Amino acid sequence: MNNLIKDIDIISAEEAQACNFKTTVDESTGKNRKLYIESYGCAMNFSDSEIVASIMKENGFDTTSDFHQADVIFLNTCSIREKAEQTVRKRLTVFNKAKKKKPEMTIGVLGCMAERLKEKLLEEEKVVDIVVGPDAYRDLPNLINIAEDGQKAVNTFLSREETYADIAPVRLNSNGVSAFISIMRGCDNMCSFCVVPFTRGRERSRDPHSIVAEAHDLFNKGYKEVTLLGQNVDSYKWSAEENNKARLNKKEEEISEVVTFANLLEMVAQVNPMLRVRFSTSHPKDITDDVLYTIKAYNNICKYIHLPVQSGNSRILEMMNRTYDREWYLERVAKIREILGEECGISSDMITGFCSETEEEHLDTLSLMDLVKYDFSYMFYYSERPGTLAAKKYEDDIPLEIKKRRLAEVITKQSQLSHERNKLDLGKEQVILLEGTSKKSQNELKGRNSANKMVIVPNGNYQKGDYLKVRITDCTTATLFGEVLEINPASI
């Protein structure tokens, strides 16, 4: 998961969900109407917005970065945290003020929040014209017509088949270097704290040929890195027999066996040895040794795994319905270190103050962090989400001040561990993919190494998208600094 907020990776997930958003850029190809999309939350949402933009482009819309100029405004929303929903509501207030000055404007809410609050948004609050769930984006042109006729338009049908495999996403806010490729949709894990299975539906995998074709297309257009996205990429599974309804061309008949995530990872890595491959997110119960050995076999598969633990205590993990315990998780980490080495980056998600969590159980999380030594983490305190299993079964009984204090301790611990891990890189030679100019200085450039750490180098005669071999000379808690040794080395 990329940090899209600041040049640091030690932040709370609450900050991320509240502030982590992107808007559309200006594109003028002579089409008659303008679309503005504001996207919140996770990488899957940003990927979905690119699918929406593609659908709308085919139906007569260019994009704009100024919502006042838009004919249609979409908010692609997140429901994982209450703060994220509050932020969207504030934006809806702003957009409705603009609509008063331009009554013909259409406002729609897309994504997880739309799925969860459809009736309230449409009927009770009357702040939107369109409500569309994550599996109904193909219906957007029709829904816009319905809304323009003065009717409320809604489609929150959750599909067992929709993967949008045949839609070429419009790359919004792209740096021209890195791109997302969605490989699956939905989630079958019923973590008790999580609303995603209820807002994104059941798990289904996209056909591998369309994924590989998209990776080829991106590389041919100059992209140097792709991130394979799924709520749980390790459970990716596709076969021509079982997924025949999703067939797009005859080439799929060449694959008769089951394609696992390890198989898919190898297929994408083989697109070109100069195309970096990342993936997110892995579930500890599903990540296999085959995946780890595939990562090891290819230099262009980044040595970085986001492996959310949520808690370091087995009782709490059972209440969360994570389907693994502390020992299982530590065994998986040990296997990652054994196969991929100490240099492999590992990050995590952690929740403090889950229902009934004791002080000793909180300390188990801190001790697990010491054992794993995460490179960075996304950390937040528990926020009950309506409709989840935890909301139905457990009392949210940890006082807010205790949740926040425990979160502060987790953040402090992670800051220490991040600094320790970064110090291990001092003096080492690494390859970074140059993303552009540093936010802090025009005299510096930024890029990420294989372990997903940001590396700052002096500005020079380099281009965005170059691979640079660097030697790490200094570090902070969140950033590495290096000197350039070579431009576009033969191996990345």
One domain, residues 392 and 299: yes
Q: 22-26, 55-59, 161-165, 355-359: lowest mean pLDDT where?
A: 22-26
Give the integer Cα–Cα distance in Å for 67 and 291: 43
Q: Identify whether residues 240 and 337 lie together within a single domain.
A: yes
Burial of 201 (0-12, 13-18, 19+ CB in 10 A): buried
User: Does residue 169 fall inside a structural domain?
Assistant: no
How far is 155 from 343, CA to CA, in rounded Å? 46
Smallest Cα–Cα separation from 319: which of 258, 390, 409, 375?
390
The pLDDT of residue 29: 73
Q: Would you state the pLDDT for residue 175?
A: 84
Which pLDDT tens digit goes with each residue over 31-54?
789 999 998 888 888 889 999 999
Dihedral (C-alpha) 418, 424, 428, 429: value to the nearest 10 degrees? Answer: -30
Does 283 share its domain with 398?
yes
Question: What digits encode the pLDDT tens for the residues 358-380?
Answer: 999 999 999 999 999 999 999 99
Same domain, 204 and 287: yes
- 487 CB neighbour count, 10 Å cutoff: 14
Mean pLDDT of 476-489: 96
CATH of the domain at 441: 2.40.50.140
CATH number at residue 257: 3.80.30.20
Which of 304, 288, 291 lies closest to 348, judged by CA? 304
The rounded mean pLDDT for the chain is 89
* 103 compared with 12, residue with greater pLDDT: 103
Answer yes or no: do 257 and 393 share one domain. yes
Residue 3 located in a structural domain? no
pLDDT in the model for residue 250:
46
- Is residue 109 a part of any domain in this protein? yes
The string of DSSP codes covering 96-141 is HHHHHHSTT-EEEEEEHHHHHSHHIIIIIS---SEEE-TT-GGGHH
Q: Is the pLDDT of residue 9 over 70?
A: no
Looking at the domain assignment, is residue 348 inside a domain?
yes
pLDDT score for 417 = 98
Contact 277, 228 (CB under 8 A): yes
**Which one of 408, 423, 438 terminates a domain?**
423
The DSSP 8-state label assigned to residue 252 in this structure reads G
Check whether residue 324 and residue 360 sit in a common domain: yes
What residues make up the domain containing 145? 11-155
**Statement: residue 403 has pLDDT above 70:** yes
Confidence of residue 30 (pLDDT cuts 50, 70, 90): confident
Count of structural domains, the chain: 3
Q: Give the pLDDT confidence of 182-216 residue by residue, as tens digits.
A: 999 999 999 999 988 888 888 999 999 999 999 99
Residues 433 and 330 in one domain: no
Higher pLDDT, 86 or 325: 325
37: helix, strand or coil: strand
pLDDT given at position 122:
73
Residues 145, 276: one domain?
no
Domain presence at residue 172: no
**pLDDT range class, residue 85, cuts 50, 70, 90:** confident
- Together in a domain, 292 and 383: yes
pLDDT tens-digit readout, 232-241 = 999 999 987 7
- Per-residue pLDDT at 257 exceeds 90: no
* 142 inside domain: yes
Of 396, 423, 450, the residue at which a domain comes to its end is 423
Q: Which of 488, 483, 491 is nearest to 445 (CA)?
A: 483
Which of 117, 140, 155 is the last residue in one of the domains?
Answer: 155
Low-confidence winner among 64-73, 141-150, 234-243, 391-400 (lowest mean pLDDT):
234-243
Give the model's pLDDT for residue 115.
75
Q: Are residues 39 and 183 in the same domain?
A: no
Query: Band of the pLDDT at 79, cuts 50, 70, 90?
Result: confident
**Residue burial 92-120, b: 16+ Cβ < 10 Å; e: rest:** beebeebbeeeeebbbbbbbbbbbbbbee
pLDDT tens, residue by residue, 433-442? 999 999 889 9
Clarify whether residues 305 and 386 are in a common domain: yes
Judge contact between 205 and 236, C-beta under 8 A: yes
DSSP class of residue 346 equals E
Closest alpha carbon to 352 in 376, 305, 387, 320: 320
Angle between helices 400-423 and 359-372 (to 10 degrees): 10
Q: Is there a domain that residue 5 lies in?
A: no
On whether residue 161 sits in a domain, the answer given is no
Write out the DSSP string of 284-332.
TTT--HHHHHHHHH-TTB-SEEE---B-S-HHHHHHTT-S--HHHHHHH
Same domain, 460 and 415: no
User: Residue 58: which CATH number?
Assistant: 3.40.50.12160
Residues 348 and 335: their CA atoms lie apart, in Å, by 16
What is d(CA 451, CA 9) in angstroms, rounded to the nearest whole number? 13
Q: What is the pLDDT of residue 372?
A: 98
Instruction: Provide the 8-state DSSP code for 430.
Output: E
Q: In this predicted structure, which of 144-148, 305-309, 310-314 has the lowest mean pLDDT?
A: 144-148
Mean pLDDT of 300-321: 98
Question: Considering the chain, what percentage of its residues have pLDDT values greater than 70?
Answer: 90
b/e code 395-417 from CB counts within 10 Å (16+ = b): ebebeeeebeebbebbbebbbeb
Query: 161-175 burial, b for 16+ CB within 10 Å, e for fewer?
Result: ebbbbebebbbbebe
pLDDT cut 90: percent of the chain above it: 70
What is the DSSP code (8-state) at residue 41? S
- Residue 3: per-residue pLDDT: 33
9-13, 46-50, 453-457, 481-485, range with the lowest pLDDT: 9-13
